[in-house]
Structure 1
Amino acid sequence: MKTLLFLNLGTGEIIIIAFAILLLFGGKKIPELMKGLGKGIRSFKDGMKDVENQIDKAVNEPDEKEK
């Protein structure tokens, strides 16, 4: 039986979790939830890129005080 390495879940557990989510939210709500989750992840990644760019910019610019 295959397992996911990061959660150590087997196929049976994944099927049970998927079935529980389907029961809780219904078939019509799941695409909306996944769309919202995708937007949230994309927003988080964009924010992380902005922080990295600001850090790179601060490190690569010469100090104004040294002039």
Structure 2
Amino acid sequence: MFGIGGGELFFVILVVLMLFGSDKIPEIARSLGKGMKQLKNATNEIKSEINKNSDLNDIKNTFNDVRSDVTSHTKNLGNNITEEINQVKENIEDASGPIKRMR
């Protein structure tokens, strides 16, 4: 456990018992447990925030892809309409060429 042997662990427990006394050890253990719980909760919150941000980035990327597709299709549609209008103008000019009124 953590690279500590049995004898070393016994020595650490003995030193803690001598420093704090038997009445303080349960309080210390409780506070260590609470600290570990808070650390675990903070770690889980950080993980969930990272996951939310990665989901948000995926949504942003998808939105940007859709926006670029819509923009390109809109430009193509505008170009196609302009070409059709020009063709109609040419057809009208060709048809009205010999029929033009004289002033």
In the superposition, the TM-score normalised over structure 1's length comes to 0.79
**Residue in structure 1 matched with residue 74 of structure 2 by the alignment:** none
1:42 to partner: Cα distance: 0.4
The answer to whether 1:38 aligns with 2:33 is yes
What code does the residue aligned with 1:56 have?
A: N
Give structure 2 stretches of 5+ with no counterpart: 68-103
What is the aligned-residue identity percentage? 31
- Alignment length (residue pairs): 62
SS of the residue 2:60 aligns to: coil
1:10 to partner: Cα distance: 2.3
What code does the residue aligned with 2:33 have?
A: G
Which of the pair has more CA radius of gyration? 2
What code does the residue aligned with 1:57 have?
A: K
Deviations 1:11-66 (A, max 9, x none): 22211111111000000100000000000010001001001000100111212973
What code does the residue aligned with 1:12 have?
A: G
Whose relative contact order is higher, 1 or 2, with alpha carbons under 8 Å and at least 6 apart?
1
Runs of 4 or more consecutive aligned structure 1 residues displaced over 4 Å after TM superposition: none
**Residue in structure 2 matched with residue 63 of structure 1 by the alignment:** 60
Pick one of 12, 16, 37 that aligns with 2:11.
Answer: 16
